[in-house]
Structures are given as structure tokens and as C-alpha cells.
């Protein structure tokens, strides 16, 4: 390693500290502020349960009297992708959208809100049972993806002190 590269590597933490960068799980990071402090809205659907379960895994499970409340609205749409010669759809695309709002329960204000969208796909070429299992798996994968997107945006939000 050259001397220039070594100096650049040593100066990197100083440059990041100067620009206001702080680790998410550091002492004043948003991950530490949110851990166990978010009550996720109770789910009413299977997809809502899967998303809530993943969000609670990432953010910690919060009770009803926590500092923040996360309201979510999930919508999914299924589109056929591949059609065989008999006219049967053999592959489906599952698109999911979640609108979310993080509320500060003490101040009664919305801290951050937004919308995330992503997709997964599954094959329906096997038996009915195999196709249903593939669909359930696709929904679970989609909720994990959307949950990760929401978590990343919450960690990037400017939270009140």
C-alpha cells in the first residue's frame, strides 16, 4: 500500500465526521433512537402481519405507549408475466406498495412519511399446492424487501431530540 493511499484511509473517518455523518447505531444515531420505541400499527391482513413482524425484528418491538407510532397502508397487485401455448399463466409478478407515516406520539406530529414500492415474482407451473406455496413465499419476500426499504428511510430521517 502506498503512502498516499494509507494517508487517505486514515483521513477518511475525519472527513466523515466533518460532514455530519454519524453511525445509525451510534450513541446519537437514529437506529438507537428508534430501537424499541416504535409501535407498528396492528396488521389486518397476512401481508400486514409479515411486514409488521419484519419491522419489529429490525426496529424492536414497541408497546402501545412508545414514543413513535408507525402507520402503514399496504397494497399489492398481481400481474401475469408468462403465458404458455395453452393460454395458462405460468409466472406471476407481485408488486407491493406501502405508504407509511412515523408519528411522534408525544408531540402528535408526523416525523416522516413516504411510499415504497418493489416487486417479486413466482412460478405457477407445478401443482396447485406448489403454486400456492410459491405465492405465499413471494408475498413474504416482498414484505421483507419493503420492510427493509422502510427501515432504511426511517434511519435516514431527521428525528427530534
Answer yes or no: is pLDDT of 1 > 60.
no
pLDDT, tens digit, 9 for 90 and up, residues 24-35? 666 666 666 788
Judge whether 68 and 35 are in contact, CB under 8 Å. no
Name the 3-class secondary structure at 101. Answer: strand
Indicate if the pLDDT at residue 63 is higher than 70: no
Give the tens place of pLDDT for each residue, 84-97: 888 788 889 999 99
Which is more confidently placed, 24 or 137?
137
Of 10-14, 101-105, 134-138, 149-153, which range is least confident? Answer: 10-14
* pLDDT at res. 6: 63
What are the grid coordinates assigned to 148, written together? 427493509
Sign of CA dihedral 48, 49, 53, 59: positive
Q: How many CA atoms lie within 13 A of 148 on its CB side?
A: 6
Q: Which residues of 21-50 are buried (b: 16+ CB within 10 A; e: fewer)?
A: eeeeeeeeebbebbeebbbbbeeeeebbeb
- How many Å separate Cα 69 from the centre of its chain? 15
What's the whole-model pTM score? 0.80
Q: Are 103 and 109 in contact (CB under 8 A)?
A: yes
Beta bridge partners of 114: 100
Amino acid at each position: 500500500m502506498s503512502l498516499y493511499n494509507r494517508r487517505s484511509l486514515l483521513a477518511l473517518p475525519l472527513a466523515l465526521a466533518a460532514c455530519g455523518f454519524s453511525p445509525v447505531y451510534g450513541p446519537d444515531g437514529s437506529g438507537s433512537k428508534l430501537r424499541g420505541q416504535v409501535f407498528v400499527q396492528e396488521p389486518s391482513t397476512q401481508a400486514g402481519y409479515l411486514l409488521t413482524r419484519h419491522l419489529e425484528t429490525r426496529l424492536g418491538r414497541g408497546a402501545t405507549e412508545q414514543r413513535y407510532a408507525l402507520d402503514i397502508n399496504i397494497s399489492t397487485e398481481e400481474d401475469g408475466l408468462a403465458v404458455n401455448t395453452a393460454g395458462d399463466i405460468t409466472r406471476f409478478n407481485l408488486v407491493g406498495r406501502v405508504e407509511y407515516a412515523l408519528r411522534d406520539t408525544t408531540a402528535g406530529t408526523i416525523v416522516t412519511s413516504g411510499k415504497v414500492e418493489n416487486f417479486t415474482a413466482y412460478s405457477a407451473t407445478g401443482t396447485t399446492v406448489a403454486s400456492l406455496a410459491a405465492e405465499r413465499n413471494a408475498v413474504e419476500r416482498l414484505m421483507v424487501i419493503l420492510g427493509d426499504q422502510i427501515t432504511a428511510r426511517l434511519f435516514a430521517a431527521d428525528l427530534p431530540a
